[in-house]
């Protein structure tokens, strides 16, 4: 199986890409009624989050949740919850409800059951925002983890899954993670993949040309099919 053919929308400036993302997301969220918005961390979507958060919309109908999280408190620099709060939710989007992934459980595995119940209570996600690492991971789907084959399945039994990642240049010291599974991703009405830099664009094109099971991003693209829209900034990123 190969991912469905995906068009990559290329931009020469971050400003133009951010404007296009905001315009499309505003239309998607405004038309959805009560819905969820699932967000990834990383640097690539931050300008988009900040700009979208300033938009005047019915944020009270939108539930914001995370695609994945490092198992750290919000005062840690690696917290995706903190990133979302200081970007998207620093503006009008502060009116939205927010569901963090990190809770009081000692490990992400111990938090799975409760967080799965919470994600099942969310309204259907109108939009999910993904990124891609230089190791081809998306969400916290890392090939090296024992949990990878479960969390990346389109029919995963839970909507979220904890995992223990090996230390790599990408994971750094953040080895305990929580991620949505393929089951949760598959509920998305639409998804964006936001990448920056020519090297990422070339890597993505290679992944999309290969069998889907060869990479985490390939698996995600296959699950989403035509619902995935790719925004890519050319140049050095």
- pLDDT per residue over 59-96, tens digit each? 999 999 999 999 999 999 999 999 999 999 999 999 99
Among 1-15, 36-50, 85-99, the least confident range: 1-15
Decide if 195 contacts 22 (C-beta within 8 A): no
Question: What pLDDT, on a 0 to 100 scale, did the predictor assign at position 7?
Answer: 83
Per-residue pLDDT at 128: 98
pTM of the model: 0.95
Chain position carrying tokens 């408190």: 73
| HSE-CB of 3 using CA atoms within 13 angstroms | 28
pLDDT band of residue 116 (cuts 50, 70, 90) is very high
Cross-strand pairs, 130: 193
Write down the architecture of domain 8-233 according to CATH: 3-Layer(aba) Sandwich (3.40)
Question: Residue ranges per domain, the chain?
Answer: 8-233
DSSP-derived secondary structure for 147-162? THHHHT-TT-SSSEEE
pLDDT tens digits, residue range 164-178? 998 999 999 999 999
pLDDT in tens, 175-202: 999 999 999 999 999 999 999 999 999 9
C-alpha–C-alpha distance, residues 47 and 32, integer Å: 23
Mean pLDDT over each residue of the chain, to the nearest integer: 95
Question: What tens digit of pLDDT does each residue of 102-112 get?
Answer: 999 999 999 99
Percent of the chain at pLDDT > 90 equals: 96
Q: Given a cut of 90, is residue 127 above it in pLDDT?
A: yes
CA atoms of 144 and 67, how far apart (whole Å): 19
| Nearest partner of 172 among 65, 60, 95, 72, judged by Cα | 72
Q: Is 127 exposed, middle or buried (0-12, 13-18, 19+ CB in 10 A)?
A: buried
Residue matched to tokens 């914001």: 64
Please give the pLDDT value at position 2: 45
């Amino acid at each position: 199986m190969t991912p469905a053919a995906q068009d990559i929308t290329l931009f020469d400036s971050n400003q133009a890409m951010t404007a296009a993302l905001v315009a499309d997301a505003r239309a998607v969220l405004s038309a959805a009624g009560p819905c969820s918005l699932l967000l990834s961390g990383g640097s690539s979507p931050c300008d988009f989050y900040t700009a979208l958060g300033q938009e005047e919309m019915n944020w009270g109908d939108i539930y914001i949740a995370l695609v994945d999280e490092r198992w750290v408190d919000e005062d840690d620099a690696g917290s995706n919850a903190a990133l979302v709060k200081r970007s998207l939710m620093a503006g009008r989007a502060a009116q939205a409800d927010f569901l963090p992934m990190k809770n009081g459980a000692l490990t992400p595995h111990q938090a799975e059951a409760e967080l799965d119940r919470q994600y099942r209570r969310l309204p259907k996600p109108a939009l999910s925002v993904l990124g891609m690492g230089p190791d081809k991971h998306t969400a916290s789907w890392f090939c090296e983890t024992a949990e990878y084959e479960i969390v990346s399945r389109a029919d995963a039994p839970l909507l979220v899954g904890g995992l223990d990642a090996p230390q790599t240049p990408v994971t750094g010291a953040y080895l305990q993670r929580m991620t949505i599974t393929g089951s949760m991703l598959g509920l998305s009405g639409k998804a964006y993949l936001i990448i920056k830099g020519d090297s990422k664009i070339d890597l993505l094109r290679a992944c999309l040309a290969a069998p889907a099971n060869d990479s985490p991003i390939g698996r995600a693209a296959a699950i989403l099919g035509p619902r995935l829209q790719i925004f890519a900034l050319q140049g050095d990123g």
